[in-house]
């Protein structure tokens, strides 16, 4: 029953989707220093996910210099000549705290949460330069003034190995999550490309299945996983696009995965890390997108044509009764909405036929629950949204 409705309604994908999924659970994985073609060749697990969902054929890094890519994805600080923020930041970090707008600030404005999991980080909130195979230049958050000046924000940076699986199992997942392997598992080391990417692929194949099998990535879930690289080969690829071969950081891998992501889709649209930032802002419904993310096109092309919005309850709604009044709206570029499905804690609760609006009383006994909503349009495309509800009394 859980998968029956998608199978009954699924039809061929339209040519050009034009809406972006709304999500309360966006995950970003950043890898290092290898080209798109190398990643697809030497990373069978990751390339398999990319081929199953959506990948870009024309993604490029704006600059060489590791930290600049991380900074761009978190702040929209576009690199210029290997520097950013008026030469305050380079490939190794920032000389002074970055005080301009950033995703941490925008998430706080919206009452949303973030967390970063970093392999080999020695302890939560670690602000040091390096520890073993962990390096600060592969972490954008210790340089943001919002984090530098807040001990509580620093505690959102935690070691990957001892925390992510536990948080996932406990349904304690932030709205915006970074997952960053260390130098031995992100493609950076060793110098041999095949070995480095093999090690990275094995690590991801050990770490990501639990996420992909979680309720966030099952029917009714709203999870979106974005995987990319900071830059391409340091010595061999400086391209900015297929037409401009100098002045940037090269041709990089980018893929999107999730219940609302188009299946077996390949995009030929030119994109860079500011597009990835804008797509993240769109998915999380942030009021503003920092830096050059504000003016960049997003990632709507990678998603199905249906957009679902849960109008009540709001996320982490404290509910006093045994039932929660669920209302939602949906829209599609294909026309009308033909069906709804509601999931409670990952299990199908109710299937409804109908229009662009939906209302249903959903059982929520004591404890924390996730309510997921899918909507199908007249061509069988599906959109998803999810909220948490807590009944404490």
Written as six digits, the tokens of 8 are 């009954």
Q: Is the pLDDT of residue 333 over 90?
A: no
Residue 227 is predicted with a pLDDT of: 98
- 235 and 369 in a single domain? The answer is no
Give the end of a domain, one of 302, 337, 372.
Answer: 302
* 262 Cβ neighbours under 8 A, 6+ residues apart: 13, 17, 53, 54, 302, 303, 304
pLDDT digits (tens, 9 = 90+) for 359-379: 999 998 888 888 999 999 988
What is the spatial distance between Cα 345 and Cα 356, in angstroms, rounded to a whole number?
A: 24
- 225 and 361 in a single domain? The answer is no
- 77 and 157 in a single domain? The answer is yes
CB 153, CB 174: distance < 8 Å: no
- 358 and 387 in a single domain? The answer is yes
Does any domain span residue 241? Answer: yes
Percent of the chain's residues with pLDDT above 70: 95
Residues 263-290 have a mean pLDDT of 96
Does any domain span residue 8? Answer: no
Strand partners, 228: 30, 254
Residues 247-271 have a mean pLDDT of 95
Does any domain span residue 7? Answer: no
Q: What is the rounded average pLDDT for all residues in the chain?
A: 92
Output the domain CATH number for residue 233: 3.40.720.10
| Count of domains forming the chain | 2
What is the spatial distance between Cα 82 and Cα 64, in angstroms, rounded to a whole number?
A: 7
Residue 7 is predicted with a pLDDT of: 35
Residue 1 is predicted with a pLDDT of: 39
- 238 and 357 in a single domain? The answer is no
What is the spatial distance between Cα 249 and Cα 39, in angstroms, rounded to a whole number?
A: 16
- 49 and 138 in a single domain? The answer is yes
Residue 393 is predicted with a pLDDT of: 67
pLDDT digits (tens, 9 = 90+) for 173-203: 999 999 999 999 999 999 999 999 999 999 9
CA 20 to chain centre: 13
What is the spatial distance between Cα 83 and Cα 206, in angstroms, rounded to a whole number?
A: 35
Of residues 339 and 304, the one with the higher pLDDT is: 339
Q: Is the pLDDT of residue 16 over 50?
A: no
pLDDT digits (tens, 9 = 90+) for 279-328: 999 999 999 999 999 999 999 999 988 888 899 998 878 877 889 999 99
Does any domain span residue 15? Answer: no
- 30 and 153 in a single domain? The answer is yes
- 151 and 295 in a single domain? The answer is yes
- 213 and 110 in a single domain? The answer is yes
Does any domain span residue 39? Answer: yes
Output the domain CATH number for residue 355: 2.60.40.10
- 235 and 321 in a single domain? The answer is no
Does any domain span residue 336? Answer: yes
* 247 Cβ neighbours under 8 A, 6+ residues apart: 238, 240
Does any domain span residue 82? Answer: yes
Q: Which domain covers residue 195, as residue numbers? A: 22-302
- 271 and 387 in a single domain? The answer is no
Residue 19 is predicted with a pLDDT of: 57
Q: Is the pLDDT of residue 21 over 80?
A: no
pLDDT digits (tens, 9 = 90+) for 198-248: 999 999 999 999 999 999 999 889 999 999 999 999 888 999 999 999 999
* 173 Cβ neighbours under 8 A, 6+ residues apart: 25, 115, 167, 216
* 232 Cβ neighbours under 8 A, 6+ residues apart: 33, 34, 35, 36, 61, 239, 249, 250, 251, 252
Q: What is the DSSP string of 103-168?
A: HHHHHHHTT--EEEEETT--STT--SSEETTEEGGG-SGGGBHHHHT-HHHHTTEEESTTTHHHHH
Percent of the chain's residues with pLDDT above 90: 78
Give the end of a domain, one of 238, 273, 302.
Answer: 302
pLDDT digits (tens, 9 = 90+) for 35-48: 999 999 999 999 99
Residue 12 is predicted with a pLDDT of: 34
Does any domain span residue 172? Answer: yes
User: Reduced to 3 states, what is the DSSP secondary structure of residue 285?
Assistant: coil
- 297 and 310 in a single domain? The answer is no
Give the end of a domain, one of 302, 329, 353.
Answer: 302
Q: Is the pLDDT of residue 136 over 80?
A: yes
């Amino acid at each position: 029953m859980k998968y029956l409705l998608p199978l009954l309604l699924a039809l061929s994908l339209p040519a050009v989707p034009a809406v972006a999924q709304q999500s309360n659970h966006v995950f970003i994985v950043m890898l290092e220093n290898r080209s798109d073609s190398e990643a697809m060749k030497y990373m069978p697990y990751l390339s398999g996910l990319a081929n199953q969902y959506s990948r870009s054929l024309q993604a490029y890094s704006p600059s060489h210099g590791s930290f600049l890519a991380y900074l761009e994805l978190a702040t929209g600080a576009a690199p210029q000549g290997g520097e950013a923020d008026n030469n305050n930041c380079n490939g190794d970090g920032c000389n002074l705290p970055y005080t301009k707008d950033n995703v941490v600030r925008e998430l706080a404005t919206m009452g949303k949460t973030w967390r970063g999991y970093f392999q080999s980080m020695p302890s939560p909130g670690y602000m040091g330069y390096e520890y073993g195979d962990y390096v600060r230049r592969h972490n954008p958050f210790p340089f943001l003034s919002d984090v530098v000046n807040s001990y509580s924000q620093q505690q959102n940076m935690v070691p990957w190995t001892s925390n992510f699986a536990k948080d996932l199992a406990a349904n304690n997942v932030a709205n915006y999550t970074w997952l960053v392997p260390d130098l031995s598992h992100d493609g950076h080391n060793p110098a041999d490309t095949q070995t480095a990417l093999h090690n990275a692929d094995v690590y991801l194949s050990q770490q990501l299945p639990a996420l992909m099998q979680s309720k966030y990535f099952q029917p009714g879930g709203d999870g979106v996983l974005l995987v990319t690289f900071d830059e391409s080969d340091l010595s061999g690829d400086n391209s900015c696009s297929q037409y401009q071969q100098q002045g940037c950081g090269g041709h990089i891998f980018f893929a999107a995965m999730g219940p609302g992501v188009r299946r077996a889709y390949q995009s030929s649209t030119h994109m860079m890390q500011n597009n990835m930032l804008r797509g993240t802002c769109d998915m999380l419904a942030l009021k503003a997108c920092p830096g050059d993310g504000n003016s960049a096109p997003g990632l709507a092309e990678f998603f199905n044509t249906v957009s679902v919005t849960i109008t009540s309850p709001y996320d982490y709604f404290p509910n006093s009764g045994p039932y929660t009044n669920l209302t939602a709206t949906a829209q599609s570029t294909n026309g009308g909405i033909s069906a709804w499905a509601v999931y409670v804690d990952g299990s199908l609760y109710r299937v409804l036929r109908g229009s662009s609006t939906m209302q249903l009383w959903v059982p929520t006994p004591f404890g924390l629950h996730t309510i997921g909503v899918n909507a199908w349009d007249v061509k069988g495309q599906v959109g998803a949204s999810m909220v948490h509800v807590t009944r404490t009394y």
